[in-house]
């Protein structure tokens, strides 16, 4: 099977935060940045949380607006910090290209094609695209209205409610060999309270059996790491579309290197035929 992109990777917001020191986790970003190379597409969360920490660090206080206003303002501040940090640690011979997306880029065929072509040009131009949902300009009330209009016309819509969905849609768009989802968890667990219950492999004799096995695994998933996150159940739901295209999925912890995850020397959940 031919794939256009080697890897689409995604890292979650909380995996980028050093809770103990109330700061960005520079060690994780530095290590990941050094591993990125052309042929990789990186989807990064973290703009809102990092913007919040940066604002607090500079002013000694948090914003006192509405949740929607604060999310917008923190995201606008955090994007520059996030990209600056990736650029600082990435190999200097590679170009970094920031791509901010919204739901309409996946629901409109012309915008999908434009986005796909932009990403596919990157490897031959020695560039690494880093993608995030554009929270700074996405107003929740308006987004819901737009989504409902798309559903009324097309019967369905890609919402990009979080970057797990965004990464899965990018994986479908560019047909990648591997989709890597990093978080602060080592994988999917049959019992979240039992670290020995990690599910190491999910497979099947064909894609239909594989999807059935993913459905079965979802029954063990509940809860999320933070308000606004959608948890393991949603991760498994979003990856179904790339899996149908032959993409292999790995769900692992951001504390491990991409190399070690690929080599299978660290715990992870691997899903695919």
- Given a cut of 80, is residue 118 above it in pLDDT? yes
* 89-117 residue pLDDT tens: 999 999 999 999 999 999 999 999 999 99
Structure confidence at residue 47 (pLDDT): 95
How does residue 226 score in pLDDT terms, banded at 50, 70 and 90? very low
- Given a cut of 70, is residue 230 above it in pLDDT? no
Q: What is the DSSP string of 121-170?
A: HTGGGTEEEEEEE-GGG--HHHHHHHHHHHHHHHS------SHHHHHHHH
Angstrom distances, CA of residue 12 to CA of 114, 151, 224, 229, 265:
26, 27, 12, 9, 22
Structure confidence at residue 76 (pLDDT): 96
pTM confidence score: 0.92
How does residue 213 score in pLDDT terms, banded at 50, 70 and 90? very high
Mean pLDDT of 201-219: 96
Structure confidence at residue 256 (pLDDT): 96
What lies within 8 Å, CB to CB, of 165 at 6+ separation is: 158, 159, 234, 238
How does residue 237 score in pLDDT terms, banded at 50, 70 and 90? very high
How much is the mean pLDDT over the chain?
Answer: 93
Mean pLDDT of 141-150: 84
How does residue 215 score in pLDDT terms, banded at 50, 70 and 90? very high
Beta strands 17-18; 40-44: pairing state:
unpaired
Domain range for 225: 5-271
Q: Tell me how many domains the chain contains.
A: 1
CATH number at residue 93: 3.40.1160.10
- Given a cut of 60, is residue 182 above it in pLDDT? yes
Which of residues 156 and 271 earns the better pLDDT score? 271
Q: Which residue, among 270, 246, 204, 263, has the nearest Cα to 5 in the 3D structure?
A: 246
Structure confidence at residue 228 (pLDDT): 43
Calculate what percentage of the chain has a pLDDT beyond 70.
Answer: 97
Stretch among 48-57, 135-144, 206-215 having the lowest mean pLDDT: 135-144
DSSP tag of 54? H
């Amino acid at each position: 099977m031919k794939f256009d992109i080697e890897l689409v990777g995604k890292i979650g917001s909380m995996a980028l935060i050093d809770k103990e020191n109330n700061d960005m986790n520079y060690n994780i970003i530095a290590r990941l940045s050094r591993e990125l190379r052309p042929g990789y597409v990186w989807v990064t969360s973290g703009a809102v949380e990092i913007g919040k920490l940066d604002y607090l660090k500079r002013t000694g206080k948090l914003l006192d607006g509405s949740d929607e206003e604060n999310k917008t303002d923190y995201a606008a501040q955090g994007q520059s910090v996030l990209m600056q940090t990736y650029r600082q640690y990435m190999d200097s011979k590679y170009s970094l290209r920031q791509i901010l997306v919204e739901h309409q880029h996946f629901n409109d065929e012309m915008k999908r094609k434009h986005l796909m072509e932009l990403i596919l040009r990157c490897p031959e131009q020695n560039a690494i695209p880093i993608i995030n949902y554009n929270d700074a300009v996405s107003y929740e009330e308006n987004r819901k209205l737009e989504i409902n209009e798309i559903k009324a016309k097309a019967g369905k819509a890609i919402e990009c409610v979080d970057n797990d969905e965004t990464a899965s849609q990018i994986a479908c768009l560019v047909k990648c060999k591997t989709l890597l989802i990093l978080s602060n968890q080592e994988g999917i667990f049959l019992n979240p309270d039992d670290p020995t219950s990690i599910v190491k492999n999910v497979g099947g004799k064909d894609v239909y059996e594989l999807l059935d096995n993913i459905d079965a695994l979802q029954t063990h998933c509940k809860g999320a790491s933070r308000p606004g996150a959608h948890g393991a159940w949603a991760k498994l739901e979003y990856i179904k579309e790339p899996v149908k295209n032959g993409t292999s999925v790995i769900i692992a912890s951001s504390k491990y290197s991409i190399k070690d995850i690929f080599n299978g020397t660290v715990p992870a959940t691997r899903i695919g035929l």
